[in-house]
């Protein structure tokens, strides 16, 4: 997208009479229109790629005039910035929903995140991340928002998974491992570097690796953690029968 900073002149509207309840309705309508434009931007990024996504295409995708779009986003830069922020918020909301359970099963969390990576939001974000490598203006928008997202994500993860509090290093490793593996798999599927038949075995293997990092349950040996015992558990030899 050509990140135009040019502002469009807007018509001057007469003031509303006192006591008019219109502002509340207008605010709700404005929020809906902004969401509509952001969704249209995501669809354009998926369909056309970043370089070919333009504000006229976004307006057309949203079914709005370019003037109406500029009423909410004065240029392409503000639109892209809001789109990135919304993509991050969607990931945070999905993470909260997946973790909002009394018992956290590794399988549920892995499957939930994997499903999120199959949606247009991830494809759009990946498109932006790749484009930012050679687009300094886009990088200057993406980098601070990505840093802010990482801080929120890590803080939220610590609150949602108190059972990992005794082993913060293992928790950080588990989060990094799952994000790196799953996002890498999603990209490999998009590019054809990975066949669909490999997805299930990879997901199950990742679940075992994460489960091996879970801290030992309370009441176990002091200081014991599940990383080493669980890691070798699948290879445990059968007991010999007593003669």
Check which CATH number belongs to the domain holding 125 and give it.
1.10.357.10
How far apart are alpha carbons 106 and 158 in whole angstroms?
A: 16
At residue 209, does pLDDT exceed 60? yes
pLDDT digits (tens, 9 = 90+) for 141-183: 999 999 999 999 888 888 888 889 999 999 999 999 999 999 9
Tell me the two tokens of residue 50. 């970043």
Indicate the average pLDDT of the chain. 83
- The answer to whether residue 141 is domain-embedded is yes
- The answer to whether residue 115 is domain-embedded is yes
pLDDT digits (tens, 9 = 90+) for 229-239: 344 343 333 33
Mean pLDDT of 82-106: 88
What pLDDT does 7 receive?
Answer: 53
Query: What burial class does residue 214 get, using C-beta atoms within 10 Å of its C-beta: 0-12 exposed, 13-18 middle, 19+ buried?
Result: buried
- The answer to whether residue 65 is domain-embedded is yes
Contacts of 214 (CB under 8 A, 6+ apart): 106, 163, 164, 170, 174, 226, 230
How far apart are alpha carbons 178 and 206 in whole angstroms?
A: 7
- The answer to whether residue 10 is domain-embedded is no
What pLDDT does 158 receive?
Answer: 87
- The answer to whether residue 218 is domain-embedded is no
Backbone angles phi, psi at 104, to 5 degrees: -100, 110
- The answer to whether residue 243 is domain-embedded is no
pLDDT digits (tens, 9 = 90+) for 106-147: 888 899 899 999 999 999 999 999 999 999 999 999 999 999
Give Cα 150 distance to the centre of its chain: 10
The rounded percent of the chain whose pLDDT value lies above 70 is: 80
Ranked by mean pLDDT, the top range of 101-105, 136-140, 213-217 is 136-140
> Where does the chain have alpha helices with state H?
22-48, 55-62, 66-72, 76-99, 106-116, 120-132, 136-160, 168-191, 199-211, 227-232
Q: In this predicted structure, which of 9-18, 65-74, 134-143 has the lowest mean pLDDT?
A: 9-18
- The answer to whether residue 199 is domain-embedded is yes
Q: Between 55-62 and 22-48, two packed helices, what is the crossing angle to 10 degrees?
A: 120
Domain limits for position 88: 32-213
- The answer to whether residue 9 is domain-embedded is no
On whether the CB atoms of residues 107 and 207 are closer than 8 A, the answer is: yes
**CB under 8 A, 24+ apart: contacts of 192-199:** 199/114
- Give the residue, 209 or 27, on which the prediction is more confident: 209
What pLDDT does 5 receive?
Answer: 54
How far apart are alpha carbons 67 and 64 in whole angstroms?
A: 8
Mean pLDDT of 68-79: 91
| Residue owning tokens 């392409």 | 76
Total residues belonging to the chain? 243
What pLDDT does 114 receive?
Answer: 94
Query: What burial class does residue 211 get, using C-beta atoms within 10 Å of its C-beta: 0-12 exposed, 13-18 middle, 19+ buried?
Result: middle
What pLDDT does 230 receive?
Answer: 43
Domains contained in the chain, number: 1
């Amino acid at each position: 997208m050509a990140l135009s900073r040019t502002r469009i002149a807007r018509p001057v509207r007469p003031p509303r009479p006192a006591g008019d309840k219109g502002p509340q309705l207008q605010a709700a309508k404005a929020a809906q229109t902004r969401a509509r434009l952001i969704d249209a931007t995501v669809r354009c990024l998926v369909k056309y790629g970043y370089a070919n996504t333009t504000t006229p295409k976004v307006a057309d995708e949203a079914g709005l005039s370019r003037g109406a779009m500029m009423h909410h986003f004065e240029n392409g830069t503000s639109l892209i910035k809001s789109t990135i922020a919304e993509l991050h918020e969607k990931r945070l909301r999905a993470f909260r929903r997946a973790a909002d359970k009394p018992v956290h099963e590794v399988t549920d969390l892995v499957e939930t995140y994997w499903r999120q990576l199959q949606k247009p939001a991830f494809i759009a974000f990946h498109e932006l991340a790749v484009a930012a490598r050679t687009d300094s203006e886009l990088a200057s928008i993406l980098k601070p928002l990505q840093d802010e997202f990482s801080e929120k994500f890590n803080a939220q993860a610590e609150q949602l998974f108190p059972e990992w509090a005794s082993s913060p290093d293992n928790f950080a490793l588990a989060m990094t491992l799952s994000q790196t593996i799953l996002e890498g798999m999603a990209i490999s599927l998009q590019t054809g570097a990975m066949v669909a038949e490999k997805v299930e075995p990879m997901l199950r293997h990742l679940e075992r690796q994460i489960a091996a990092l879970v801290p030992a349950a309370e009441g176990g040996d002091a200081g014991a953690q599940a990383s080493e015992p669980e890691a070798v558990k699948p290879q445990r030899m059968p007991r010999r029968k007593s003669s």
